[in-house]
Structures are given as structure tokens and as C-alpha cells.
Amino acid sequence: MVKEFNTNIEYPNFGFEILQRDAGSFARVGLLKTPHGTIETPNFIFVGTKASVKNLHPVQMREAGADMILSNTYHLYIQPGPDLVHKMGGLHKFMGWDGPMLTDSGGFQIFSLGTGTGADEIKGKGKAGNKSLLKIDEQDGAIFKSYKDGSLCRLNPEISMDVQRKLGADLVVQMDECTPHSAEREYTENSMQMSHRWGDRSLNAFEKDHDGTQGVYGVVQGGVYRDLREESAEYTRSRPFFGTAIGGCLGGTKVHFYEILSWLPERIHPDRPVHLLGIGKIEDIFEGVKQGMDTFDCVTPTREARHGRALMRGAKGGFINLRNSCFKDDPSPLDETLGLASSALYSKAYIQHLLKAGEMLAFQIVSQHNVAVIARLMREIRATLKAGGDLDKLRKEWLPD
């Protein structure tokens, strides 16, 4: 089914070392090496869509314990444009983050924002996006309208790799089509096959300018169909990608999504780092880790903060709502044990006041706290795995029934 591919690509400045494996699951502890540093896995990649993690300086990200940041190719392609970022020395220098970075291919946003389907499913948003996707053509790629000025833009494997090359993140992702989970089998299969051909084109484009500064991830698609997911896993395994990303709209329900993940650990390349695209709620992180996922990304930490929700180990649902009247005169800080001024200096009463008064400092405080909570979650997961401990027990400490 999967055609041959003769090019080999080496990644001398990159590495992924699996240090330890969980006895009861596919979970593993690893070291992911990039030109901008080595991070421990499992880990979380915090989202800085437009070359900025919303409301937070890079130094505040470091204080909170963040190890890695992701920016979105789609958004930076439109504003300020890859040539400007390249001229300014690349994403790291542009935004002042000296640790590892990843950019996605831009495909997800084009299809999800463009049709108003994918993002709704994955991110749980009810509102359909602006229909900006005008045309998908396998050879030429996707043509879409810029949300900035309405001008026509094009993204295909060669353009995506060129844009990501100019942005200069350590890890980049092949161009793919993100199929909605509601898609019929035939559409999903054809889309997946196209994504595989786009994967080969991405690799060829990547290889052409490869100078050792970037590593490229292949993407496993195939929707909700087990045989397609397995075929896609085989495709990525057979190609000289540095890492494996799990993409697509992962089922309509949580059970389904977890079931899809369970098909993959024994099919994908066993030695490569695995990234679960766009997923990062606390319960999903636990499930993903058990299925062998090494890294996660999600806008949850900063988006929840802007809604006044502080992530909290052991709270019902994993968070508290700081607008709740019970915090009106609560003098206690968010969490003094995080070693962070944002979590220790301010009372919940003060943060509620800031939220009510529309003071943006609230978003800073809670965003940094939320990043620190997720960074701690990942540290505790790694510590538990290293100690041969029980992930389910840890999950119950974080998310009591």
C-alpha cells in the first residue's frame, strides 16, 4: 500500500533517547535533543500562536517551568510573514525564546478555520469559523483568503516547508490535510493518501535545504478508521521523518479518541518522538502518555486563564473559576508551592477584582500560573514513571472523581 521512498535524511543535531518504560502501559521517559537544548519527555509544548504565548514574556515562561514553545505557521505566514521573521534572525531571536520550538504545517488551520469544522470538533468550540478556504488542489495545495486583508494565499507542501524553514523552529511538521471526523470513509481515505503524497513532497522539499538545524515530523492521519490509521502509521514509519505526529480530528467522543490512540503504539516508529497535535487537557495528557505520546500541545493553559479559570491540582474538573463568588473575599493565593510570584503573591480576592475590573494583569497572573501547573503536571508524570509509580494513582490526585 505504501510506496517506496528512496531518500534518507539524517538529523545529526537531534536525538531522542528513551530512558525508561512503564511496565503497565506504553508510557516512556525520554530525552528529546534539539539545537536549542534537550528536554525531558513526556512534556508539554506551550502555544505561542503568533510568536507570543499570550500575555507572557519568555522569561515568565521560564519562571513557570516551560521547556518548549510552538508557533503556528498559518498565523505567522499571514502576519508578519516568514521573510520578515527570517530577516529578524528567526523565531527564537524574534520572540526572545532560546529553548526548543516547533511550528506546525499550517494545514490544520487552513482546513479547520477555513471550513469551520475541524477546529470546532477538536477544540470543542461551537461557533463555525469564517469560511476562508477557497479551493484544495493536490498539486497546487490550498488556496485561502488571508484573515488580515482578504488577499489570496496558497499553502502546499513546498510552501509550508519553505515557510517553516524561514521561521526556523527546531521541529517542523509535514503538510497534511486534517479530515473532519464526520468525513465518510472514502473521503478520509483519499485525504489520507493525499497527505501521504504531501508527506513525501514535504520530505523532498525539506531535504533540499536541510542544513541540520531542523527535524521534521510526519503526521498520522486516517480519521476514525482503524485500518487507515494503521496504514498511516506504517507510512510515517517507512519515511525518514525525525518524529511522528498524531493528527486529525480524533473522534467525536473522548472514548473514541482514546480508542484511536490505542491503535497506534505498536504501529508507529518505536524509536522516534511522538507528538499529539493540539491535545492537552489534563485527562487527555494522562491517556496520551499511557499510549506512548511524548509531547502535547494545546492552548488550554492560556485560554482558560483568559476566562478566569485557574488550573488546580485536585480541583473538580482540574480548575477553579476565579469569578465564582466564593472567592470574593478569599485571601489565599492560587498555590504557594509553585515557587512563582503569580501563584503566591496575589489573593484569589485580588485576582477576582482584576477580572471584574477588566484589568489585563489578571490574564498575566493566571496564565503564568496555569503554565506552571501544566509544567508541574509533566514533571510529576515523569517522576512517577521514573520511580516505577502508578500513573492512574497520580491521575486521581490531579483529577479526583
- List of residues contacting a second copy (CB under 8 A): 50-59, 75, 79-80, 84, 87-89, 94-96, 328-329, 331, 341-342, 345-347, 349-350, 352-354, 356-357, 359-361, 363-365
The nearest distance, CB 71 to a second copy, in angstroms, is 11
Q: What angle do CA 114, 116, 117 make, to 5 degrees?
A: 115
CB neighbours of residue 401 within 10 Å? 4
Q: Nearer to a second copy by C-beta: 89 or 212?
A: 89
CB 159 within 8 A of CB 185: no
- Report, in Å, the least distance between residue 157 CB and a second copy: 26
Q: Whose Cβ is closer to a second copy: residue 136's or residue 351's?
A: 351
Nearer to a second copy, 204 or 347 (CB): 347
To a second copy, the closest distance from the beta carbon of 352 in angstroms equals 8
C-alpha Rg value of the chain to the nearest Å: 20
Phi-psi region of 125 (alpha: psi -120 to 50; beta: other; left: phi over 0): beta
Burial class (CB in 10 A: 0-12, 13-18, 19+), 270: middle
Query: 174 or 352: whose CB is closer to a second copy?
Result: 352
Write the burial class of residue 351 (CB in 10 Å: 0-12 exposed, 13-18 middle, 19+ buried).
buried
Minimum gap (Å) between residue 361 Cβ and a second copy = 5
Kindly tell me which of 159 and 351 has the beta carbon lying closer to a second copy. Answer: 351
**Cβ 325 to a second copy shortest distance, Å:** 12
Catalytic residue ranges? 104, 297
- Cβ 385 to a second copy, closest distance in Å? 34
Sole residue written with cell 531518500: 7
Rank residues 341 and 399 by Cβ distance to a second copy and give the closer one.
Answer: 341
First and final C-alpha spacing in the chain: 45
Q: 356-371: buried (b, 16+ CB within 10 Å) or exposed (e) per residue?
A: eeeeeebbbbbbbbbb
Per DSSP, helices labelled H in 47-173 are 58-63, 73-78, 82-87, 91-95, 107-115, 118-123, 157-167
Between CA 119 and CA 125 the distance in angstroms is 7
DSSP state, 266? Answer: T
